[in-house]
Amino acid sequence: MTGTVVPKNPDFEARTRESFARQGVMGLLGAVLERVEPGLVQIALPFRQELSQQHGFFHAGVLATIADSAAGYAAFTLFPADAAVLTIEYKINLMAAADGERLTAVGRVLRTGRTLTVCQFDVHVEKQGRVTHCATGIETLIALVGRAGVRD
Amino acid sequence: MTGTVVPKNPDFEARTRESFARQGVMGLLGAVLERVEPGLVQIALPFRQELSQQHGFFHAGVLATIADSAAGYAAFTLFPADAAVLTIEYKINLMAAADGERLTAVGRVLRTGRTLTVCQFDVHVEKQGRVTHCATGIETLIALVGRAGVRD
Amino acid sequence: MTGTVVPKNPDFEARTRESFARQGVMGLLGAVLERVEPGLVQIALPFRQELSQQHGFFHAGVLATIADSAAGYAAFTLFPADAAVLTIEYKINLMAAADGERLTAVGRVLRTGRTLTVCQFDVHVEKQGRVTHCATGIETLIALVGRAGVRD
Amino acid sequence: MTGTVVPKNPDFEARTRESFARQGVMGLLGAVLERVEPGLVQIALPFRQELSQQHGFFHAGVLATIADSAAGYAAFTLFPADAAVLTIEYKINLMAAADGERLTAVGRVLRTGRTLTVCQFDVHVEKQGRVTHCATGIETLIALVGRAGVRD
């Protein structure tokens, strides 16, 4: 593997935004794609009761859903135009309760190769102007080329 | 830490079902609590377009959401009546595309102690009668006693 | 990915034992290759002071070293004869102190595909006849073909 | 949990160095404790054949052993004087072959609380003056107080 932050596809941003728009679950949650840069993607999510766990905080799974998408699309920005992205695995540490009005997940590419890409993600929660680093994780993605039905 | 599968709270099932019912996100997704046994919880989720990633499969985050709840409630079934459960961290491997009509997540306690519990979860997807083991993971939970606003 | 436990290489056992013998660190630790079966490898390690952490138990890293090799070689038993194995990532939970005279690590293939293989590993420690399940984890391996200097 | 980088124990450095010296495995490997700062520890390890996997690189387990100790002692620097440290779990991604003459592992505290601490670790390998970021991971530690036989 060799590291790089030069996108192989000059249309990476349009392609990322178009793929994000097809993720049904992002619409269901109300997630917003805020930043799309080479090797970096940021997704935000305002709180509502339907996103909660039993104590009224954001459910860890909801938080992980936007973190996974942020990491996956961060990898995707560096892929060639004919490659799709799939998550192989990730690990997440929930360091503080996700108690607040708004989550922000940032995914960053740590290392990208022909087949595999490793990303880090960090999630912050905002409550009445105070920002807390509530989760961090590492995710491995695979670039798939030429798989029918798996476009991007 | 010492292993055990004898629930400390005889009302563990009612308490688990009541807590599950308060998780707003389970209602949003359409998840169903199918089994609540000492040290084991199973949650099912039928597919619909709103739960998809960009290829039309279940989004990994949706899958992880029910896996996390299955593991968390499996731990919870063995907690004393005054302890709440929070996820510290988990790791998930997505071994096959979650392509199908229905997901089933089973969480099982591997080891439980006074403070920490370790669970394994496994997720299967069903497509036209064929069942595929599509994800597995390990999760660490903490038992919290006497925290205001964190009941269960 | 498709699951299988039929080894592609009939000489998998000899090839695995020969590769293990070349792992300098296994000799340094004193690890013994006990079982080599299709999709399953077991490694044992007797205690000595040089393997300890500060409390006199097996160091977590030592434990992880044999667990990683057990998982890696479990994957390797199912690889074609021209493929090398490399660990991409793993996650380990240390569920009990590794306090005892002997560790046993078993790696098992959960799912194997052309490029990636997912394994589970479990480590038990034996102390005066009592066996404790002290660690569990999940590991992702990659099969490499045609890389100079990376034979197996 | 609340984040902090002020050590509760003014003698944190002496206590960390003394505990490191008792880890038998650090001597066996030949690891050197290079930096001990509040919330940060660095450990270095020169290559020799006994530390290798089958291709002649550093074995992943050896790399993980010093990474685990770096993260554990980073947490330990912030603990009160009567608390011992144990690793609960960690996850490591091996991003490039650990091919070189020397490894350096740095552990950093991301968040520390009364019971749990989360650290990140990063490992670099140096080969003929070229430095490669070959591994990264996240680790969870627990502070133990008043356990007989578990001093630090």
| DSSP track, chain A | -----S-S-TTHHHHHHHHHHH-HHHHHHT-EEEEEETTEEEEEEE--GGGB-TTSSBPHHHHHHHHHHHHHHHHHTTS-TTEEEEEEEEEEEE-S---SSEEEEEEEEEEE-SSEEEEEEEEEEEETTEEEEEEEEEEEEEEEES-TT---
Can you give the pLDDT at residue B6?
81
Here the tokens at position B92 are: 């998930």
For the cut 70, the answer to whether the pLDDT of residue D152 exceeds it is no
Q: Report which of residues A122 and A49 the model is more confident about.
A: A122
Distance CA B100, CA B150 (A): 36
* pLDDT reported for residue B100: 97
- Express as a percent the part of chain A with pLDDT over 70: 93
* Inter-chain touch C115–A140, beta carbons under 8 Å: no
pLDDT tens column, D20-55: 999 889 999 999 999 999 999 999 999 999 998 888
pLDDT at A147: 64
Residue B3 has pLDDT above 80, yes or no: no
Contacts of D136 in chain A (CB under 8 A): 110, 118, 120, 138
Say what percent of chain C tops pLDDT 70.
Answer: 93
Cβ pairs bridging A and D (under 8 Å): 40
- pLDDT for C150 equals 53
| Whole-number pLDDT of residue A90 | 97
Residue C137: strand, helix, or coil:
strand
Tell me: the pLDDT tens digits for C45-97?
999 999 988 888 999 999 999 999 999 999 999 999 999 999 999 999 999 99
Neighbours of A87 (CB within 10 A): 23
Q: Which residue has the higher pLDDT, D71 or C147?
A: D71
More confident residue, A151 or A27: A27
To the nearest 10 degrees (0 to 180), the angle between helices A60-76 and B60-76 is 150
- Tell me, rounded to whole angstroms, the distance of Cα C128 from its chain centroid: 24
ipTM of the complex, rounded to two decimals? 0.90
Residue with tokens 């980073």: D74
Tell me the angle at which helices D12-22 and D60-76 cross, rounded to the nearest 10 degrees. 150
The contacts of residue C36 (CB under 8 Å, 6+ apart) are: C12, C13, C16, C17, C73, C77
The answer to whether C89 contacts chain A (CB < 8 Å) is yes
- Predicted confidence at residue C148, as pLDDT, reads 52
Question: Touching check for C140 and chain A: CB below 8 Å?
Answer: yes
Confidence of residue B1 (pLDDT cuts 50, 70, 90): very low
CA distance C73 to D54: 11
pLDDT value for A152? 56
How many Å lie between the alpha carbon of C25 and the closest alpha carbon of chain B?
27
Which residue, among B88, B123, B138, B142, would best test binding to C if mutated, counting the most C CBs under 10 Å from its CB? B138
Q: Which two tokens stand for residue A104?
A: 């922000």
Stretch C127-135: mean pLDDT: 97
Interval A132-149: pLDDT, tens: 999 999 999 999 987 655
Report the residue of chain C nearest D20, measured CA to CA: C54
Question: Is a pLDDT exceeding 80 seen at residue A62?
Answer: yes
Residue D146 is predicted with a pLDDT of: 74
- Give the nearest partner residue to A118 out of D3, D93, D140, using CB atoms: D93
**Statement: residue B136 has pLDDT above 70:** yes
B77-114 pLDDT per residue, tens: 999 999 999 999 999 999 999 999 999 999 999 999 99
pLDDT of residue A1: 36
Strand partners, A41: A36, A107
pLDDT of residue C3: 46
